[in-house]
């Protein structure tokens, strides 16, 4: 085997053999295939695609590059969820304890934010004392004793993907659907969950801007899960408007706790319950009612135990940014559009996100919304509040919000988009 022949095969729109795929993933992980060679192959895949057999074998090779976790010792079935990322997407925080309260175990390996999309670990790290890094033994203990764990993936899980993702990020090949799908699914399959629900975001604030691309990605990932023996379902969900009323780390934790307490924004509650029902069904847990578990406090009980088990204080005061700036409505009428991407970029520029993986984040930074599409607003009414510790960032954040909303005449009818756009199984 040699890298040049593998590159030429895909460059000329050929099908990579299983042997070629196994060799190139292993050789790249070991350093035998150079970054520039893997860059050329990734670009050829972006331009020419892969069929289902190629993607399945590519995913299997990435899984084989590291360890596989095993939750067979648990007394209840496992179910996990993965979101492709959005703005205000704090759903994992209330969802994991909710599903655990209903009888399934939730081993949730999550990531950090990059660019305009927030990261679950960054949000939880705004809770004093909470730890994202757990050993496999610690992860299994928290899962066994509380029913849910949210933590970082260890270095031993699909190391080929970690190396390849960093390369794709700087070579313009992140958008290749075969590589997106195999990246997500190699980690989730190696994680060892028995079932998986995918939340594939669609819209301006998502990586998939149109529903056809999102449907292709979702179908590819569902196929990969099925091929590897993991019961997998995908929901396509709207990300044209931010989820909930907050985008930022501590801001989103606070809103998640409101949901667990039986309140919170209607769209966050709706999507949390929809995903919980899918996870419980995939895990084979019958006769459980997620809405009831939110209302009776049992999901909140699991949340508190889960946070404490990872060193956090569920009663601690969350960080608050030192400076705020209020953005007001320029006119009266009906808010008909609020762009998720623009709000996400504003939160990122305020310090809630990072441009590079090494950058720090501000726990209290972000955007708090006071109106959503469909709401009637009056001139001078607050539309949103910007939060940051570094007020010199306000002007930079405000530039991203120019043209990010539309206000129609009072009395204009407005029909909101549904949260769940499609289901693929």
Active site residues: 82, 161, 168, 183, 187
Q: Are 218 and 180 in contact (CB under 8 A)?
A: no
Label residue 70 exposed, middle or buried (CB < 10 Å: 0-12, 13-18, 19+).
exposed
User: Phi first, then psi: what are they for 383, rounded to 5°?
Assistant: -95, -40
Q: How far apart are CA 25 and CA 160, in angstroms?
A: 7
Name which of 99, 94, 123, 134 is nearest 309 in CA terms: 134
Q: Which residues contact 348 (CB under 8 A, 6 or more apart)?
A: 113, 115, 116, 354, 355
Q: Computed over its alpha carbons, how large is the radius of gyration of the chain?
A: 22
366-369 and 323-328 strand pairing: unpaired
- What is the token pair recorded at 343? 């709000």
β-pair partners for 72: none
3-state secondary structure of 275: helix
Considering only the C-alpha atoms of the chain, give the largest distance between any 2 of them, rounded to a whole number of Å.
68
Distance separating the N- and C-terminal Cα atoms of the chain = 37
Q: How far apart are CA 112 and CA 52, in angstroms?
A: 29
- What is the token pair recorded at 300? 């909140």
Q: Are 228 and 188 in contact (CB under 8 A)?
A: no
Enter the DSSP assignment of 391: G
Sequence length of the chain is: 425
Q: Are 218 and 210 in contact (CB under 8 A)?
A: no
């Amino acid at each position: 085997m040699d890298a040049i022949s593998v590159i030429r095969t895909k460059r000329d729109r050929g099908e990579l053999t299983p042997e070629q795929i196994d060799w190139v993933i292993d050789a790249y992980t070991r350093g035998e295939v150079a970054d520039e060679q893997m860059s050329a192959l990734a670009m050829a895949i972006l331009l020419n695609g892969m069929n289902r057999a190629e993607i399945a074998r590519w995913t299997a090779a990435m899984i084989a590059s590291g360890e596989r976790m095993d939750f067979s010792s648990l007394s209840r079935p496992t179910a996990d969820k993965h979101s492709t990322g959005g703005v205000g997407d704090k759903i994992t925080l209330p969802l994991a304890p909710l599903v655990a309260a209903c009888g399934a175990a939730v081993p949730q390996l999550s990531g950090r934010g990059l660019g305009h999309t927030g990261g679950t670990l960054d949000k939880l790290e705004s809770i004093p004392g909470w730890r994202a890094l757990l050993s496999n033994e610690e992860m299994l203990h928290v899962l066994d004793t509380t029913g849910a764990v949210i933590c970082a993936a260890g270095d031993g899980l699909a190391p080929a993907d970690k190396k390849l993702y960093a390369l794709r990020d700087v070579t313009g090949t992140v958008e290749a659907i075969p590589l997106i799908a195999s990246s997500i699914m190699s980690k989730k399959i190696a994680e060892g969950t028995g079932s998986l629900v995918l939340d594939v975001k669609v819209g301006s604030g998502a990586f998939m801007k149109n529903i056809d691309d999102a449907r292709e990605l979702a179908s590819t990932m569902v196929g990969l899960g099925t091929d590897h023996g993991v019961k997998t379902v995908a929901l396509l969900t709207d990300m044209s408007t931010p989820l909930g009323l907050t985008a930022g780390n501590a801001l989103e934790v606070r809103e998640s706790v409101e949901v667990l307490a039986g309140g919170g924004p209607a769209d966050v509650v709706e999507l949390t319950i929809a995903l919980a029902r899918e996870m419980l069904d995939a895990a084979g847990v019958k006769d459980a009612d997620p809405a009831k578990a939110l209302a009776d406090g049992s999901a909140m009980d699991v949340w508190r135990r889960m946070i404490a088990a990872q060193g956090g204080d569920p009663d601690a005061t969350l960080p608050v940014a030192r400076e705020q700036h209020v953005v007001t409505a320029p006119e009266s009428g009906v808010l008909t559009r609020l762009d998720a991407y623009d709000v996400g970029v504003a939160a990122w520029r305020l310090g809630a996100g990072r441009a590079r993986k090494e950058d720090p984040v501000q726990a209290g930074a972000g955007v708090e919304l006071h109106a959503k599409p469909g709401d009637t607003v009056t001139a001078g009414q607050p539309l949103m509040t910007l939060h940051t510790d570094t007020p010199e960032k306000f002007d930079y954040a405000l530039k991203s919000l120019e043209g990010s909303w539309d206000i129609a005449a009072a009395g204009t009818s407005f029909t909101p988009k549904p949260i769940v756009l499609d289901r693929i199984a």
